[in-house]
């Protein structure tokens, strides 16, 4: 029915420090702005009919920079926010990963177990993220028929989509700042992955 480009925001200072951001509203740094302008060049020939962004500043600003000077209003929604990481937001990834490894062996989980896994009550599972993002994308499907839409979001959101569409046991998806995946959405609201840029599949956690 329609196609979407689901992009990750540009770099922030917390990205460079290796900190968990989640719902914490961190702005792009200078490198992040440059990355967004390079993504603008990559997507310059795409005729977007609509733009939807996470309401967090780093995603919204990325969408603004990618779109300039197009005259398209940006719809903002919390449904495209990064995965909530509860009390761990602001901590280093290395600290979180060490704690996580003491709780569970992620390598041994099946797809259903992995996407449903919640390390703590206030940490979203990938399945919860995927559900809200899919709802955001498909809720206006009828009006988007035949169009191409830009969705500006976060690395954990793109990972949630990738884990649901292409889970590989013992591997994790890594999405670079301003990486993207292109999806086709069919009449049933199902996704198929047709293109990616700045996305890596890495063995182990």
Q: 60, 79, 82, 124: which one is catalytic?
A: 82
Instruction: Kindly list the distances between the CA atom of residue 173 and the CA atoms of 69, 91, 158, 178, 179, in Å, as whole numbers in the listed order.
Output: 32, 21, 9, 15, 12
Angle between helices 126-138 and 155-165 (to 10 degrees): 90
Separation of alpha carbons 62 and 40, rounded Å: 9
For residues 127, 130, 135 and 138, what is the CA-based torsion angle, rounded to 10 degrees?
Answer: -130
Find, among 37, 39, 50, 15, the residue nearest to 136 by Cα.
50
Separation of alpha carbons 167 and 69, rounded Å: 38
The question of whether 82 is a catalytic residue gets the answer: yes
Separation of alpha carbons 184 and 191, rounded Å: 6
Instruction: Kindly list the distances between the CA atom of residue 15 and the CA atoms of 12, 58, 147, in Å, as whole numbers in the listed order.
Output: 5, 11, 33
User: Which three-class secondary structure state does DSSP give residue 2?
Assistant: strand
The question of whether 9 is a catalytic residue gets the answer: yes
For residues 27, 48, 133 and 203, what is the CA-based torsion angle, rounded to 10 degrees?
Answer: -80
> Catalytic residue numbers?
9, 82
């Amino acid at each position: 029915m329609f196609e979407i480009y689901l992009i990750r925001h540009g770099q922030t200072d917390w990205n460079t420090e290796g900190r968990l951001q989640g719902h914490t509203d961190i702005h792009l740094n200078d490198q992040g702005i440059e990355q967004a302008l390079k993504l603008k060049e990559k997507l310059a020939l795409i005729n977007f009919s609509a733009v939807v962004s996470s309401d967090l500043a780093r995603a919204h600003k990325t969408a603004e920079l990618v779109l300039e000077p197009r005259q398209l209003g940006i719809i903002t929604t919390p449904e495209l926010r990064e995965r909530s990481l509860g009390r761990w937001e602001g901590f280093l990834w290395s600290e979180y990963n060490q704690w996580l490894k003491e709780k569970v062996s992620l390598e041994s989980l099946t797809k259903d177990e992995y996407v449903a896994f919640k390390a703590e009550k206030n940490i979203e599972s990938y399945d919860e993220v995927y559900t809200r993002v899919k709802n955001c994308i498909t809720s206006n499907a009828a009006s988007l028929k035949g169009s191409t839409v830009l969705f500006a979001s976060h690395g954990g959101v793109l990972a949630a989509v990738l884990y649901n569409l292409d889970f590989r046991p013992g591997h994790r998806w890594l999405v670079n700042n301003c990486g993207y995946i292109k999806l086709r959405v069919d009449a049933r609201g199902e996704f198929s992955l047709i293109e990616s840029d700045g996305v890596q599949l890495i063995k182990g956690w």
